Structure 1
């Protein structure tokens, strides 16, 4: 089985009614054509499944949601996504101006909106036949209540397991990696600071690979036998042209083989 994995599309529709916000986020608003180029590379790989690691949109609105789904539905095979914090974040126009609604405040509204279009963003398990795929909701810098029991109920179904989630796990090695690259990152936000127990209590020694997004900076660490794949963005932002739109191609065979594809500068 072959899986294409990418993260952080940050789609913004030209039909988005909050023009002021769209203008202020121009580094993503004009970046979507690079995802179309990446999508063509994914098509050439002929994957069986595509998994997005969240932040399909730069903020949730019906216009942005529908634009992201339009882009994703042109993929060559079925696709799934975990939620990112931007998928739950909203903006609301008030008499005094535009108010930003955090992912924590907006998650219930956004979840209902995504589900209205048939997009499920809760924890899900996919059985590939010889490998289990665990898609975890970490959009709020931690996993939902009940996730530990959910993992226990599913992780033993197959001898090999892979995890796909938006926010990197909260581990000292990952914190050190992030600060080495960018020492001003708020680690309460950029790791799963609300559930620091997750790896040790539920995943250590039981998953071969963990795929995360959120950082916008690609990298890979091996921690206690588990490979931590940190993905860059699925678009090339004019703000950071050196970081090219990329995806990981995961081939499930005797081993788990992972390689990167990216658009040319």
Structure 2
């Protein structure tokens, strides 16, 4: 790394701002619109709102002169145009580069017909594009002071062959790699909440498909998804993995690679990471 710099990481804000444009979708949004109404600020224990949490994290990015803001999914609780526009306006206002990957709620209208892959593609195209800028929603990279910040969408718990090939190409450069995903990779001893590449992930362990009104998970992971997880934790130049999804901060180290799951931004929580020059 040519110089010391900082980034700010945000996940699971769960914005639920909505307006008249969302009226036709109320039947798909009721549960998530009513969720997290009693969240407490991670530090003060006072009532917190998702909007306040997002603004607090972005303000911290400005105060820290951050070089990058990483948005690790579930920034919105459902693909509300009002919420997406609000978040994009704040991101543009602070003028700091950002990278974004969708979480499983960002594109999900509960009870809407279709597979996860179909619904993700549809609502990314129709709603979420303001949060991506010009980046490919499925996989992207930002080069910053010699570090390759790789963002990959695993919001269906799965990885595609194109994503695996892309990740391998980034590792093959030999440059330091930091990986951003939404759903954490399996770490030994962890539950299927660490669902990407978990050996027990599948139909038999999917306990939430009825509540979330979606199709059950497939029977087991694809070989591609399992290979991705193996590659991440065996690559000699992966500095760290950052994820969200679980609404609980955690740290695992697998084969010397740290995986940090950040606390939910709906409580105001966010993570400042400093990369020191070598």
Aligned with residue 233 of structure 1, among 254, 259, 264: 264
Aligned with residue 117 of structure 2, among 86, 92, 104: 104
Contact 1:205 1:225 (8 Å CA) reproduced: no
- The aligned residue for residue 74 of structure 2 is 55
- CA distance change for structure 1 residues 69 and 100 in 2, over 3 Å: closer, same or farther? farther
- What TM-score comes out, normalization by structure 2 length? 0.72
Secondary structure at the residue paired with 1:140? coil
- CA distance change for structure 1 residues 9 and 73 in 2, over 3 Å: closer, same or farther? farther
- The aligned residue for residue 99 of structure 2 is 80
Structure 1 unpaired stretches of 5+:
92-97, 237-244, 256-265
Secondary structure at the residue paired with 2:60? helix
1:27 equivalent to 2:35? Answer yes
- CA distance change for structure 1 residues 5 and 208 in 2, over 3 Å: closer, same or farther? same
Please give the per-residue CA displacement for 1:55-101, whole angstroms capped at 9, x wherever unaligned. 1211113233223323433445121101111122125xxxxxx7476
- CA distance change for structure 1 residues 116 and 213 in 2, over 3 Å: closer, same or farther? closer
- The aligned residue for residue 14 of structure 2 is 10
Contact 2:16 2:80 (8 Å CA) reproduced: no
Kindly indicate which of the two structures has a greater share of residues assigned to strand.
1
- CA distance change for structure 1 residues 26 and 102 in 2, over 3 Å: closer, same or farther? farther
Aligned-pair Cα RMSD in Å: 3.1
Secondary structure at the residue paired with 1:159? coil
After the TM superposition, which residues 215-226 of structure 1 pair with which residues of structure 2 at under 5 Å, given as runs? 215-226=246-257
Secondary structure at the residue paired with 1:108? helix
User: d(CA) in 2 for partners of 1:176 and 1:102?
Assistant: 20
Contact 2:11 2:262 (8 Å CA) reproduced: yes
Structure with greater contact order relative to length (CA < 8 Å, sep ≥ 6): 2
- What TM-score comes out, normalization by structure 1 length? 0.75
- The aligned residue for residue 87 of structure 2 is 68
1:172 equivalent to 2:199? Answer no
